[in-house]
C-alpha cells in the first residue's frame, strides 16, 4: 500500500493504491451515486450510475471499479455524466414495472431516490414490459421480477456472503432474469433462507413476506441487539414500528458474523407460533389456572424452602437471569446445572474468533455440525472454502459441508487430517460437543493451531460462567429430588438433559406454552429475546448486550427480577 | 551441424510399420550409403504423411515428392534415379493429395497471402509439413538468439496491430504484460470469431494451426508466461480437433512442454471450447468463461495485461495476430512493415460477402482501396448491378457509401469514415439494398447478443430496434430520426463493453450516409430500395399481362384474380407482399412500387 494523489472535481485527494475512485471519493466526502454497488459485495460496474470522467481516458469510467492512479484527474458531475446517469435511470424505468405508488418499498427504494435526484418526472421511453410471474413459493421471501433492475446484488450476496450459490441469471440480453438454481421456484431451491439477498436488494424486487407495506424508513425504529437463537451471537438490527417488529437485518461489519444472519435469527423468531404465557399459572384441582404474581411466588417460595431442589437452566436466557438463578439455588441448598451437554476442551492451541475463519489457511471441523446448529459459522466455513482454504471434516454428519471439504473422515482417521494440516501456517480447529478425546489427541501435533469451540444450545457459556455446569451423567431421579425448578426462558425442552422426576413439584419459568409447562405445578412467565435487557456470552466468550426492542407484555416480568425477589423471600 | 540437401521422411504410423516401414527405412539408409549419398540425404521418421493406406510411404523435402507403395526391390532404382540423377520416378509416386482447401482457391488478383500462406498447401495434421515451410524456425531463433525484450522490439518495429477488432499495437500489449507484476502469467488466443459470416480465423486454425501455436509460444517467451489457452468457439469442431492434434504433435517434438528446445523456457497450452455467445469474444467475458463463470464482460481498467485470468497478468490476442508473429521474426520487422500504410502495416484477411461475384476469404495488404477489393479481388457486383454500400467491422461496424470507394483501407481511415476495421467482416451491398432494413437487421443481432449486464446496451438497444422496426413497418414518426441519434449517442457513451459502445454504429453510419432513405420511409412511407414489405405494392401491368394465370395459381393467399387471357389484378387487402408473383411471371408484368 502506498499513497496516491489525485484530484476529484479539482480537490486534492490522497488515497491508497488499490482503492477505487469511489472509495477514494467517499473517504474524501465526495458523493458519487451508485446502484448496483454495495460495500459488502464485489464491484460490478453494470448500472452506470457512478460514471465519472477521467482525464486522458477514452470512455467514461465506473468509479466503483476504476483503480486510482497517481496524478489522476477525475470529474464526477459534468453535464455529460449526468446525462448518462439519467439515461440509464430512464431506461430502467422503461424496462419493467416501476410504478412506485404500488410498491411496498416506495420511499425506501434506492432506484426511486435516484430518480428524484435526477429529476425523472415522466416516462421518457415507451414501456414495453411484459409481466412476469411473481414467485411466492418461499414462506419468507417473495421474488417480484417485475421490479428487478438486474443489479445482481442478491446473486453476489448469495455467492459471496452466504456462499450458497442459489441465485444466478437465466437467459441473456433483455430476457435476462434472476433465477434460483436451474430456474426452480425459490421455495423448492437450495436456498437456506438466510435473507441476505433481501437485505441488499435496492428495490422492491425481493419482498419480505411479513413486513411488506408495514412501514417506511421514516416511520420505523432501529434497535441493535444480539441474536439469542444460537451461541454465535450475531448482531441484529431490529426494525420495529411502535410495538410491532417488522423485520430483522444483520449489522454489517460487526463481529462475530460480519452482518450475515441465518433463518433462525432473521425469520423464525418473527414467525413464532407457540402460545405466549402472559401471567403466572398455578395448578388448581389438577388444572393450570391464572394466578397473581404474589400468590404464585408465595407457593414457589414455600416449596423451595422445604424441598430437595434441583435447578435446571436451558441457557435460552440472559446472563443476569442465570446468575440470579444460580444464586437462588445456592441459597436454598439445591443442586443446580444446565441442560446442555458438556463442551470438551482441546488441551492445546489458542482460542480464535469467528472472523478468523476467513483468515486461516486450513480449517478442521471436528465433532460439530455448524451448518445445522451454528449456521453462520457454517456459512463462513463455506466462504473460506470458496476462497481456496482447505476444509477437512472429522466426525461431521452429512449435510452440506462435505461439498466444501477436501477431506471427510471418521474419528479413527483423524491423524490423516493432522498430517495434511501440518504444512499450514495458522490452522483453525472448529469443534463442538462431538469431539472425541481420541480425535483431540490425534490433532495434538498441531500445537500452533487456534480453535473455535462451538458451544451447544444458546447461552450455555453464560450458564457455565454463572456456575451452572452440565448435568449430563448425574443421578437426577425422584429419590434425590422432590422439587424441580426449570429456567426454560424462551427455549423448548427438546435437546439436552431432561430428568423424569415423577411426583416432584415442578416450577417452570418460561415464555411459551410447551409440554413441560403443561406438566408444571407453577408456571412463571418470562420475556422473549426482543423484550430483554442484559447480556449473553457467545461462543467466543464475549459478553454481548441485549437491548429491548418492544416492552414486555403486562403480566410478564424479567426473570432476574423475579428470581431476586424469590431470594429475598427465602 | 551437417548440411543435408534432402530429408527423407519415412512414415512410421502403425499401418505403415505393419507394412514393413522400419525394414524399408533401414534398407533405404543402406542403399543411400552404398551409392555414396549418406552425407547428402538424411532419413528420418515421421508419424504421419497421409497415404498410409498405400504404405509404406516416404516424403522427400524440400522437393515435397511423395512416394508410396514402396517395396524393398524398388529401392536401388529409386536411389539411383531420383536421389542421384534427380529424376522423379513417376511409377512410384503417391496418388494421395492432401484435402484441398475448398474455401480458399488460388490467390485472386491483388491478394497477398501472408497469414494464409500455408492454408491449403500443407497438411494441417502433419507438423512436418509445417516444419518444411520454415515452421518453428522462428521459435528456435528467439530461444537461441533473442532476449524477450528484443522479441518485443521486433514486434513493435513491425507495426503489427491486433487483428481482433480494436487494432491495438501488439508489441505494446506484450510490453505491458511483460512489465506487470504477478505470476504465473498467461497467454490467451481469441478464436471465438463470432461475427456473422466471418471465418478468417477458422481457416487459419484448420489450415495452419502451428502458425498460431508458434506465435503463442513466442509471445509467452516474450512476456514470461508459462501457460496458454486457445478459446475456440464450439461451432468450430474441426478447428478444435485440428488444434488439439497440432498441440499433441508440437509437444511430441518438444516445442511445447518443459525445457523447450533444451532451453530453460517451459510453456504449455490447451484448447477451451466457447460457450456459444457472441459477447464471449470480448476479452474480459472470454476470460470469465475460461474461469468457468458466466461470460459477462467486466469493466477495464484493470486491463488483462495487469489482471486477467484468475487475476494474473494475461496477454490476449486474436488468431491472426499470433499467426503472423513467426514470419515477422524470421523475415524481419522491416519486411512486414514494408507492406501497408503509415499506420497500418502488413496484410489483413477479410471474409468478403454479399453482392460481389467472388465471395469468400481474401488477404490483401493495408492501403488497398475498397474499389480494388470489390472490383478486382471480388470481381465486381453480381449481375452487373450498381454498388450501394459496404459494411465493414461486423455487427458493431458501419456502412460506407460509394464516396469512400477510393479511400485506402486502414484502421484510421475506416474509423474516420465512421466505421471500423473490426476483425475482417466485409459485406458488399448492391443498389437493391434498403439501408434502414440493414440497420434493423444488425440491431436485431445486437439485441439477441447483448449479454444484459449493463443497462444502456440491454435496454437502450431494445428501444433502437423498436424504432427501426416501426420505421420499416411504415409507422415511422417525424421525431424518430432525432430519437435514434439521441439513443445512439447515449448508448455509445455509457455502455460497459465494446458491444454496447459499438452497437449504434450501423444506425449512426446509415443515418450519416443514407439519411434520405430514412426520410423516405418516415415521411413518404416509401422504401426506395423496395425491400420493406409494408411500404411496397405489387401490381400487374395490364399492358404486359397475358392472362396466363400462373401468378394466380402460385399466390399463397389467393390475392390475384382475373379471367384466363385477360389482365389480372392483385387485391391489395389480401396481398402479403411475398413477391412470388413477380418471381413466377414470365412476362415481367408484375411491378413493385
Ligand atoms: C462484443 C465483442 C466481441 C468480440 N469478439 C472477438 C472475436 O470474436 N475475436 C477476437 O479476436 N476479438 C474479439 N473481440 C475483441 C477482443 O475483446 C480483444 O480486443 C481482442 O481479442 C484482442 O486481440 P488483438 O489485440 O489481437 O486484436 C470482441 C470484442 C467485443 C467487444
Ligand atoms: S435467502 Fe440466502 S441462501 Fe436464499 S437465495 Fe437469498 S441469499 Fe441465497
Ligand atoms: S432482485 Fe433485487 S438485488 Fe436481485 S438483481 Fe433484482 S433488483 Fe438487484
Ligand atoms: S455493453 Fe452489452 S454486452 Fe457489453 S456488458 Fe453491457 S450489456 Fe453486456
Residue B560 or residue B63, greater confidence: B560
Report the alpha-carbon distance of residue A23 to residue A16 in Å, rounded: 9
CA-nearest residue, atom 2 of ligand 3: A201
Q: Decide: residue B478, CB within 10 A, 0-12 exposed, 13-18 middle, 19+ buried.
A: exposed
Beta strands in B164-246 (DSSP E): 186-191, 227-232
* B174-188, B271-285, B405-419: range with highest mean pLDDT: B174-188
Average pLDDT for residues A514-525, to the nearest whole number?
93
**Overall CATH class of domain A3-77:** alpha beta
DSSP B90-139: GGGB----PPP-TT--SPPTT---STTTTTTTS-TT-HHHHHHTTTTHHH
Q: Do the strands B41-46 and B6-11 form a parallel or antiparallel pair, or are they unpaired?
A: parallel
Please, are residues B208 and B130 in contact by the beta-carbon 8 Å criterion? yes
Please, are residues B393 and B421 in contact by the beta-carbon 8 Å criterion? yes
Report the alpha-carbon distance of residue A503 to residue A480 in Å, rounded: 12
Report the alpha-carbon distance of residue B477 to residue B522 in Å, rounded: 6
Average pLDDT for residues B283-301, to the nearest whole number?
95
CA-nearest residue, atom 20 of ligand 1: B164
Q: Decide: residue A273, CB within 10 A, 0-12 exposed, 13-18 middle, 19+ buried.
A: exposed
Distance from CA of A450 to the nearest CA of B (A): 30
Q: What chain A residue is nearest to B450 in terms of C-alpha separation?
A: A173
Report the alpha-carbon distance of residue A227 to residue A225 in Å, rounded: 7
The helix (run of H) or strand (run of E) holding residue A253 is: none
| Ligand 2 atom nearest residue A141's Cα | 1
Confidence of residue B2 (pLDDT cuts 50, 70, 90): low
Kindly give the distance from the C-alpha atom of residue B168 to the centroid of ligand 4, in angstroms, as a whole number.
21
Best substitution site from B293, B300, B451 to test ligand 4's pocket, by max atoms within 8 Å of Cβ?
B451
Angle between the B435-449 and B505-513 helix axes, to the nearest 10 degrees?
A: 170
The reply to whether residue B452 touches residue A60, judged by beta carbons under 8 angstroms, is no
Number of residues in chain A:
570
CA-nearest residue, atom 4 of ligand 2: A191
CATH number of A281-342+460-569: 3.40.50.740
- Count each helix (H run) and each strand (E run) in chain A, helices first: 15, 27
pLDDT at position A102? 82
User: Which of chain B's residues have a Cβ under 8 Å away from the Cβ of A49?
Assistant: none
CB of B163 shorter than 6 A to ligand 1: yes
CB of B351 shorter than 6 A to ligand 4: no
Please, are residues B340 and B159 in contact by the beta-carbon 8 Å criterion? yes
Confidence of residue A128 (pLDDT cuts 50, 70, 90): low
Beta strands in B52-91 (DSSP E): 57-61, 65-68
The reply to whether residue B298 touches residue A59, judged by beta carbons under 8 angstroms, is no
Handedness of CA A431, A434, A439, A444 (dihedral sign): positive
pTM above 0.80, yes or no: yes
| Ligand 3 atom nearest residue A178's Cα | 5
Q: Which CATH architecture has domain A350-452?
A: 3-Layer(aba) Sandwich (3.40)
pLDDT at position B62? 84
B86 touches chain A (CB under 8 A): no
Confidence of residue A212 (pLDDT cuts 50, 70, 90): confident
pLDDT at B37 over 80: yes
Work out the end-to-end distance of chain A between its first and last CA atoms, rounded to an integer number of angstroms: 65
pLDDT at position A565? 96
Kindly give the distance from the C-alpha atom of residue A169 to the centroid of ligand 4, in angstroms, as a whole number.
14
pLDDT at position A122? 87
A32 touches chain B (CB under 8 A): no
Report the alpha-carbon distance of residue A145 to residue B12 in Å, rounded: 64
Q: What chain A residue is nearest to B496 in terms of C-alpha separation?
A: A46
Please, are residues B315 and B305 in contact by the beta-carbon 8 Å criterion? yes
Please, are residues A305 and A520 in contact by the beta-carbon 8 Å criterion? no
The reply to whether residue A47 touches residue B455, judged by beta carbons under 8 angstroms, is yes
Q: What percent of chain A has pLDDT over 90?
A: 86
- Which residues neighbour B228 within 8 Å (Cβ) at sequence distance 6 or greater? B186, B187, B188, B189, B216, B220, B267, B268, B269, B270
Report the alpha-carbon angle A403-A166-A391, nearest 5: 25
Give residue limits of the domains in chain A.
3-77, 131-271, 281-342+460-569, 350-452
**Which ligand has an atom closest to residue A138 CA?**
2
A80 touches chain B (CB under 8 A): yes
B301 touches chain A (CB under 8 A): yes
B464 touches chain A (CB under 8 A): no
Q: What percent of chain A has pLDDT over 70?
A: 98
What's phi and psi for B125, nearest 5 deg? Answer: -90, 5
CB of B318 shorter than 6 A to ligand 1: yes
Q: What chain B residue is nearest to A175 in terms of C-alpha separation?
A: B452
Average pLDDT for residues A378-384, to the nearest whole number?
97
Report the alpha-carbon distance of residue B414 to residue B426 in Å, rounded: 12
Which grid cell is A471? 448435568
| A452-466, B6-20, B288-302: least confident range | B6-20
Which grid cell is B131? 516444419
A65 touches chain B (CB under 8 A): yes
Q: What is residue B257's DSSP assignment? A: B
pLDDT at B127 over 70: yes
**Residue located via cell numbers 534427380:** B86
Kindly give the distance from the C-alpha atom of residue B165 to the centroid of ligand 1, in angstroms, as a whole number.
6
Size of interface A-B (CB pairs under 8 A): 92
The reply to whether residue A46 touches residue B454, judged by beta carbons under 8 angstroms, is yes
User: Which of chain B's residues have a Cβ under 8 Å away from the Cβ of A67?
Assistant: 301-302
Report the alpha-carbon distance of residue B56 to residue B53 in Å, rounded: 8
Confidence of residue A239 (pLDDT cuts 50, 70, 90): very high
ipTM of the complex: 0.88
Please, are residues B318 and B216 in contact by the beta-carbon 8 Å criterion? no
- Give residue B560's Cα distance to chain centre: 47
Q: What is residue B375's DSSP assignment? A: I
Q: Decide: residue A312, CB within 10 A, 0-12 exposed, 13-18 middle, 19+ buried.
A: buried
The reply to whether residue A169 touches residue B452, judged by beta carbons under 8 angstroms, is yes
**Residue located via cell numbers 513493435:** B156
Please, are residues A566 and A304 in contact by the beta-carbon 8 Å criterion? yes
SS3 label, residue A350? strand
Average pLDDT, chain A: 94
SS3 string of B429-480? EECCCCHHHHHHHHHHHHHHHCCCCCHHHHHHHHHHHHHHHHHHCCCCCCCH
Please, are residues A224 and A251 in contact by the beta-carbon 8 Å criterion? yes
Report the alpha-carbon distance of residue B231 to residue B286 in Å, rounded: 8
Best substitution site from A148, A160, A196, A199 to test ligand 3's pocket, by max atoms within 8 Å of Cβ?
A148
- Give residue B493's Cα distance to chain centre: 29
B26 touches chain A (CB under 8 A): no
User: Which of chain A's residues have a Cβ under 8 Å away from the Cβ of B310?
Assistant: none
Please, are residues B143 and B221 in contact by the beta-carbon 8 Å criterion? yes
Q: What chain A residue is nearest to B299 in terms of C-alpha separation?
A: A45
Beta strands in B222-276 (DSSP E): 227-232, 268-273
Q: Nearest CA to A97 among A132, A61, A50, A55? A: A132
The reply to whether residue B299 touches residue A66, judged by beta carbons under 8 angstroms, is yes
The reply to whether residue A150 touches residue B298, judged by beta carbons under 8 angstroms, is no
Ligand 3, CB cutoff 6 Å, lining residues: A 148-154, 178, 200-203, 205-206
pLDDT at position A202? 96
DSSP B312-346: S-EEEEEHHHHHHHHHHHHH-HHHHHTSB-SSSBS
Q: Which of B277, B456, B459 is facing A174, going by the closest CB pair?
A: B459
pLDDT at position A495? 60
Residue A353 has a CB neighbour count (10 Å cut-off) of: 16
Kindly give the distance from the C-alpha atom of residue B498 to the centroid of ligand 4, in angstroms, as a whole number.
8
A78 touches chain B (CB under 8 A): no
Residues 156-175 of A with CB under 8 A from B: 168-169, 171-175
Q: What chain B residue is nearest to A49 in terms of C-alpha separation?
A: B494
Q: What is residue B220's DSSP assignment? A: H
What's phi and psi for B311, nearest 5 deg? Answer: 75, 10
pLDDT at position A494? 62
Report the alpha-carbon distance of residue B401 to residue B512 in Å, rounded: 10
Q: Nearest CA to B126 among B209, B229, B68? A: B209
Average pLDDT for residues A532-552, to the nearest whole number?
97
In Å, how far are A314, A396, A417, A470 from A433, measured between CA atoms? 16, 11, 19, 12
Kindly give the distance from the C-alpha atom of residue A269 to the centroid of ligand 2, in angstroms, as a whole number.
18
- Give residue A84's Cα distance to chain centre: 39
CA-nearest residue, atom 6 of ligand 4: B454
User: Which of chain A's residues have a Cβ under 8 Å away from the Cβ of B463?
Assistant: 91, 94, 125-126
Which grid cell is A227? 441474536
Q: Which of A45, A60, A173 is facing B450, going by the closest CB pair?
A: A173
CB of A260 shorter than 6 A to ligand 2: no
Best substitution site from B279, B287, B394 to test ligand 4's pocket, by max atoms within 8 Å of Cβ?
B279
Q: Which of A65, A169, A173 is facing B448, going by the closest CB pair?
A: A173
Q: Nearest CA to B196 among B480, B393, B50? A: B393
The reply to whether residue A67 touches residue B301, judged by beta carbons under 8 angstroms, is yes
Q: Do the strands A281-284 and A244-250 form a parallel or antiparallel pair, or are they unpaired?
A: unpaired
Per-residue pLDDT of A337-369, as tens digits, reads 999 999 999 999 999 999 999 999 999 999 999
Per-residue pLDDT of B478-516, as tens digits, reads 999 999 999 999 999 999 999 999 999 999 999 999 999
Is the peptide bond between B301 and the residue preceding it cis, with omega within 30 degrees of 0?
Answer: yes
Please, are residues A310 and A335 in contact by the beta-carbon 8 Å criterion? yes
CB of A159 shorter than 6 A to ligand 2: no
- Give residue B462's Cα distance to chain centre: 29
Beta strands in A445-503 (DSSP E): 450-453, 483-489
Q: Which CATH architecture has domain A131-271?
A: 2-Layer Sandwich (3.30)
Distance from CA of A136 to the nearest CA of B (A): 25
Q: Say yes or no: do domains A3-77 and A281-342+460-569 share a fold.
A: no
What's phi and psi for B558, nearest 5 deg? Answer: 55, 45
pLDDT at position B106? 84
A290: β partners: A281
Q: Do the strands B227-232 and B186-191 form a parallel or antiparallel pair, or are they unpaired?
A: parallel
User: Which of chain B's residues have a Cβ under 8 Å away from the Cβ of A62?
Assistant: 299, 496
Domains of chain B, first to last: 6-92 (3.40.30.10), 127-336 (3.40.50.11540), 347-430 (3.10.20.600), 435-523 (1.20.1440.230), 537-592 (3.30.70.20)
Amino acid at each position: 500500500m502506498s499513497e496516491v494523489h489525485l484530484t476529484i472535481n479539482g480537490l486534492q485527494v490522497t488515497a491508497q493504491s488499490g482503492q477505487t475512485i469511489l472509495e477514494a471519493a467517499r473517504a474524501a466526502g465526495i458523493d458519487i451515486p451508485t446502484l448496483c454497488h454495495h460495500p459488502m459485495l464485489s464491484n460490478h460496474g453494470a448500472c452506470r450510475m457512478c460514471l465519472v470522467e477521467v482525464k486522458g481516458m477514452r470512455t467514461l469510467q465506473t468509479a466503483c471499479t476504476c483503480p486510482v492512479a497517481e496524478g489522476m484527474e477525475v470529474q464526477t458531475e459534468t453535464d455529460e455524466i449526468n446525462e448518462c446517469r439519467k439515461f440509464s435511470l430512464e431506461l430502467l424505468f422503461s424496462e419493467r414495472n416501476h410504478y412506485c405508488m404500488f410498491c411496498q418499498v416506495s420511499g425506501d427504494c434506492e432506484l426511486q431516490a435516484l430518480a428524484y435526484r435526477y429529476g425523472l418526472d415522466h416516462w421518457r421511453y415507451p414501456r414495453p414490459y411484459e409481466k412476469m410471474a411473481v414467485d411466492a413459493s418461499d414462506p419468507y421471501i417473495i421474488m417480484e421480477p417485475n421490479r428487478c433492475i438486474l443489479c445482481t446484488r442478491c446473486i453476489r450476496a448469495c455467492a459471496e456472503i452466504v456462499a450458497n450459490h442459489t441465485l444466478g441469471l437465466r437467459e441473456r440480453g433483455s430476457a435476462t432474469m434472476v433465477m434460483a438454481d436451474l430456474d426452480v421456484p425459490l421455495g423448492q431451491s437450495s436456498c437456506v433462507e438466510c435473507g441476505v439477498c433481501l437485505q441488499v436488494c435496492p428495490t422492491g424486487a425481493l419482498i419480505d413476506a411479513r413486513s411488506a407495506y408495514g412501514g417506511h424508513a421514516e416511520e420505523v425504529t432501529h434497535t441493535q441487539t444480539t441474536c439469542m437463537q444460537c451461541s454465535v451471537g450475531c448482531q441484529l438490527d431490529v426494525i420495529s414500528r411502535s410495538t410491532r417488529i417488522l423485520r430483522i437485518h444483520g449489522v454489517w461489519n460487526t463481529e462475530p458474523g460480519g452482518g450475515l444472519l441465518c433463518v433462525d435469527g432473521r425469520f423464525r423468531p418473527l414467525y413464532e407460533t407457540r402460545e405466549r404465557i402472559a401471567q403466572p399459572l398455578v395448578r388448581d384441582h389438577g388444572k393450570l389456572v391464572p394466578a397473581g404474581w404474589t400468590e404464585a411466588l408465595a407457593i414457589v417460595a414455600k416449596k423451595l424452602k422445604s424441598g430437595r431442589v434441583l435447578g435446571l437452566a436451558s441457557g435460552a436466557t440472559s446472563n443476569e437471569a442465570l446468575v440470579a438463578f444460580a444464586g437462588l439455588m445456592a441459597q436454598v441448598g439445591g443442586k443446580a446445572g444446565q441442560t446442555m451437554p458438556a463442551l470438551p476442551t482441546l488441551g492445546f492451541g489458542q482460542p480464535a474468533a469467528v472472523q478468523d475463519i476467513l483468515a486461516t489457511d486450513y480449517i478442521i471441523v471436528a465433532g460439530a455440525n455448524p451448518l445445522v446448529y451454528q449456521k453462520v459459522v457454517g456459512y463462513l466455513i463455506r466462504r473460506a472454502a470458496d476462497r481456496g482454504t482447505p476444509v477437512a471434516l472429522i466426525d461431521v454428519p452429512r449435510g452440506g459441508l462435505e461439498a466444501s471439504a477436501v477431506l471427510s473422515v471418521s474419528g479413527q482417521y483423524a491423524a490423516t487430517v493432522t498430517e495434511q494440516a501440518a504444512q499450514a501456517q495458522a490452522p483453525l480447529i472448529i469443534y463442538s460437543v462431538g469431539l472425541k478425546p481420541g480425535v483431540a489427541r490425534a490433532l495434538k501435533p498441531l500445537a500452533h493451531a487456534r480453535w473455535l469451540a462451538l458451544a451447544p444450545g444458546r447461552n450455555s457459556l453464560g450458564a457455565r460462567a454463572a456456575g451452572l455446569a452440565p448435568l449430563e451423567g448425574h443421578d437426577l431421579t425422584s429419590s434425590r429430588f422432590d422439587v424441580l425448578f426449570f429456567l426454560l426462558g424462551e427455549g423448548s425442552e427438546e435437546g439436552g438433559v431432561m430428568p423424569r422426576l415423577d411426583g416432584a413439584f415442578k416450577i417452570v419459568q418460561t415464555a411459551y406454552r410447551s409440554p413441560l409447562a403443561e406438566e408444571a405445578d407453577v408456571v412463571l412467565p418470562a420475556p422473549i429475546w426482543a423484550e430483554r435487557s442484559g447480556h449473553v456470552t457467545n461462543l467466543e466468550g464475549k459478553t454481548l448486550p441485549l437491548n429491548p426492542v418492544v416492552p414486555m407484555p403486562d403480566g410478564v416480568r424479567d426473570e432476574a427480577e423475579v428470581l431476586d425477589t424469590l431470594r429475598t423471600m427465602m | 551441424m551437417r548440411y543435408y540437401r534432402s530429408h527423407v521422411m519415412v512414415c512410421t504410423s502403425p499401418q505403415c510399420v505393419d507394412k514393413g516401414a522400419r525394414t524399408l527405412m533401414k534398407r533405404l539408409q543402406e542403399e543411400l550409403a552404398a551409392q555414396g549419398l549418406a552425407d547428402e540425404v538424411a532419413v528420418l521418421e515421421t508419424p504421419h504423411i497421409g497415404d498410409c493406406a498405400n504404405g509404406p510411404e516416404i516424403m522427400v523435402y524440400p522437393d515435397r515428392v511423395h512416394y508410396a507403395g514402396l517395396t524393398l526391390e524398388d529401392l536401388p532404382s529409386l536411389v539411383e534415379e531420383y536421389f542421384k540423377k534427380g529424376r522423379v520416378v513417376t511409377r512410384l509416386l503417391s496418388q494421395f493429395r492432401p484435402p484441398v482447401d475448398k474455401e480458399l482457391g488460388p490467390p485472386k488478383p491483388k491478394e497477398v497471402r501472408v497469414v494464409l500462406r500455408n492454408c491449403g498447401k500443407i497438411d494441417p495434421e502433419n507438423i512436418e509439413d509445417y516444419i518444411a515451410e520454415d515452421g518453428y524456425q522462428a521459435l528456435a531463433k528467439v530461444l537461441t538468439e533473442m532476449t524477450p525484450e528484443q522479441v518485443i522490439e521486433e514486434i513493435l518495429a513491425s507495426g503489427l496491430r491486433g487483428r481482433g477488432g480494436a487494432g491495438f499495437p501488439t508489441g505494446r500489449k506484450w510490453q505491458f504484460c511483460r512489465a506487470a507484476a504477478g505470476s504465473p502469467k498467461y497467454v490467451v488466443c481469441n478464436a471465438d470469431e463470432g461475427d456473422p459470416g466471418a471465418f478468417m480465423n477458422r481457416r487459419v486454425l484448420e489450415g495452419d494451426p502451428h502458425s498460431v501455436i508458434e506465435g503463442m509460444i513466442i509471445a509467452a517467451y516474450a512476456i514470461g508466461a508459462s501457460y496458454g489457452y486457445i478459446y475456440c468457439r464450439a461451432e468450430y469442431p474441426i478447428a478444435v480437433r485440428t488444434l488439439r492434434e497440432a498441440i499433441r504433435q508440437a509437444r511430441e517434438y518438444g516445442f511445447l512442454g518443459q525445457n523447450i528446445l533444451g532451453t530453460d523456457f517451459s510453456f504449455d497450452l490447451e484448447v477451451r471450447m466457447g460457450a456459444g455467445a457472441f459477447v464471449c469474444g470480448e476479452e474480459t467475458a472470454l476470460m470469465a468463461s475460461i474461469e468457468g463463470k458466466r461470460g459477462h464482460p467486466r469493466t477495464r481498467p484493470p486491463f488483462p495485461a495487469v489482471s486477467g485470468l484468475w487475476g494474473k497478468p494475461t496477454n490476449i490476442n486474436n488468431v491472426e495476430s499470433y499467426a503472423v508473429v513467426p514470419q515477422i521474426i524470421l523475415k524481419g520487422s522491416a519486411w512486414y512493415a514494408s507492406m501497408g500504410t503509415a499506420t497500418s502495416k502488413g496484410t489483413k484477411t477479410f471474409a468478403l460477402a454479399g453482392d460481389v461475384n467472388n465471395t469468400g476469404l481474401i488477404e490483401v495488404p493495408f492501403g488497398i482501396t475498397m474499389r480494388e477489393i470489390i472490383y478486382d479481388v471480388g470481381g465486381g457486383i453480381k449481375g452487373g448491378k450498381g454498388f450501394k454500400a459496404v459494411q465493414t467491422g461486423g455487427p458493431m461496424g458501419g456502412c460506407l457509401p460509394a464516396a469512400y470507394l477510393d479511400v485506402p483501407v486502414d484502421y484510421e481511415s475506416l474509423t474516420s469514415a465512421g466505421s471500423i476495421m473490426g476483425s475482417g467482416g466485409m459485406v458488399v451491398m448492391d443498389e437493391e439494398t434498403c439501408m434502414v432494413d440493414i440497420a434493423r437487421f444488425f440491431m436485431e443481432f445486437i439485441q439477441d447478443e447483448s449479454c444484459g449486464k449493463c443497462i444502456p446496451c440491454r435496454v437502450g438497444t431494445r428501444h433502437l430496434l423498436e424504432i427501426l422496426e416501426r420505421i420499416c413497418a411504415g409507422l415511422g414518426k417525424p421525431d424518430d430520426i432525432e430519437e435514434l441519434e439521441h439513443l445512439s449517442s447515449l448508448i455509445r457513451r455509457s455502455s460497459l463493453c465494446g458491444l454496447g459502445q459499438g452497437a449504434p454504429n450501423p444506425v449512426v453510419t446509415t443515418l450519416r450516409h443514407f439519411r434520405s432513405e430514412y426520410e423516405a420511409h418516415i415521411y413518404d412511407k416509401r422504401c426506395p430500395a423496395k425491400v420493406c414489405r409494408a411500404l411496397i405494392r405489387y401490381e400487374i401491368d395490364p399492358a404486359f399481362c397475358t392472362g396466363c394465370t400462373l401468378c394466380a395459381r402460385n399466390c399463397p393467399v389467393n390475392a390475384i384474380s382475373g379471367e384466363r387471357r385477360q389482365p389480372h389484378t392483385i387485391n391489395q387487402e389480401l396481398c402479403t407482399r411475398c413477391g412470388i408473383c413477380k418471381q413466377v411471371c414470365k412476362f415481367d408484368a408484375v411491378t413493385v412500387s
